[in-house]
Amino acid sequence: MRPFRHLMKTGALALGTALVALQPLHAEEEEAWRLFIADHSESVLRALDAEKGEVLETFQLKAPARIYATESKETVFAVQYDANTVTAFSTGIHFDDHGDHADLEVTAPRALEGSVDGERPVHFVAHFGEIALFFDGEGVARLVSEKAVSEGKPDIREVRTSAPHHGVVIPYGAHAIATVPNSKDPSELPEGVQVVDAKGAAIGEPAACPGLHGEATSGNITAIACDTGLLLITGGRNDLPEIRHIAYTDGLPEDLKVSTLAGGKALQYFLGNFGKSNLVLIDPEDEDAFRLIELPVRAVHFVVDPVRPKFAYVFTEDGKLNRINVLSGKIDQSLELTAPYSMDGHWSDPRPRIAVTHDEIMVTDPLKSVVHAIDAASFEKARDIAVEGKPYNIVAVGGSGESHENH
């Protein structure tokens, strides 16, 4: 498991150097975190001040949404499957990178103009500053840059596949990785991926990945889950992506597979499900890449900690939040947090979801209209935040930076 340097976003000074010379800057360190929470049943998205627990804004949607934050954390996308549309929101958190520090600017969250529409939007992927939204009902991905969306001028390009299917497209700079529909029955999971150029034309031969479902990026590696193992993709913004396959290793339970992945931050690893009651840690550079973590009961949701790289969290159906030490590959803390949330029933029933801020781990409790905040240092419950309705999908955005009096 390799550490890697977090790449900060570059920015530009708002004022010229002459003005800086005349008026010395007064900088203060500030921190701001916000929660964006989509309701399970109502078509609303709420933006909260994470520290105060106060609702800053409530946005009306066209349907209940899955929400995703971009790599910069400046934009949140609401994928509204039942309304065939995707809309975007400015988080109001903006960083300008100055090499040795970043300036923080905080403004009100707001809805961005425009939408990306199509039949049955499902899969969201952000990579290299570009967003790919895959529409299962059309077998088409619509790609937009985050910058263009934030300016209200989404310039959409499309990557088309051969048939409607449950697929995904991963932006890769001058290229993209597109799923190959199952040739016998496109309603089944895809059977591989194809590298395409900026116009969507195929380059080379497809890479096999039967039963494809789940992808994530950690550092300079993107992993895609298959029935047989993982595809690992590497390459820079202007490079032709390279794809290699690693097979599941001996000793893992047979007839199980990864179908959901999360990518480590600051440490290069992947965390995936492996059946309903296991997780698996994946070190892509290790000869014995897979380490199984057996859970006491079935998993509900899991995430990696972007602030404390050695930890990840899994909420289990017994109502417990469990902390995983990714270095030892073991659960080192468990906290009883809610009433049990059985995984029996419909897959989309309201169940807890997890997000992480600088100091706290946030867990939605949709049946109690609450977000539980757990102190990340002590792993003890810190407080409850009351939220109307059934708080469900949640993302946390924020960080710290300098606030200058004169820019």
pTM of the model: 0.90
Find the angle CA(226)-CA(140)-CA(111) to the nearest 5 degrees: 105
102-106 β-sheet, strand order: 54-60, 44-49, 27-39, 391-404, 102-106, 93-97
Quick check: 222 pLDDT over 60? yes
Q: What share of the chain is helix, strand, coil (3-state, %, to 5)?
A: 5, 50, 45
Sign (positive/negative) of CA torsion 319, 325, 331, 332? negative
Q: Determine the average pLDDT of the residues in 188-194.
A: 98
**In a 3-state reduction of DSSP, which class is residue 213?**
coil
3-state secondary structure string across 274-290: CCCCEEEEECCCCCCCE
Helices (H) and strands (E) in the chain — how many of each? 2, 37
SS3 149: helix
Cβ atoms of 311 and 305 within 8 Å: the answer is: yes
Q: Which pLDDT tens digit goes with each residue over 150-174?
A: 888 778 999 999 999 999 999 999 9
Cα separation of 290 and 294, whole Å?
13
Q: What tens digit of pLDDT does each residue of 235-293 get?
A: 988 999 999 999 999 889 989 999 999 999 999 999 999 999 999 999 998 888 999 99
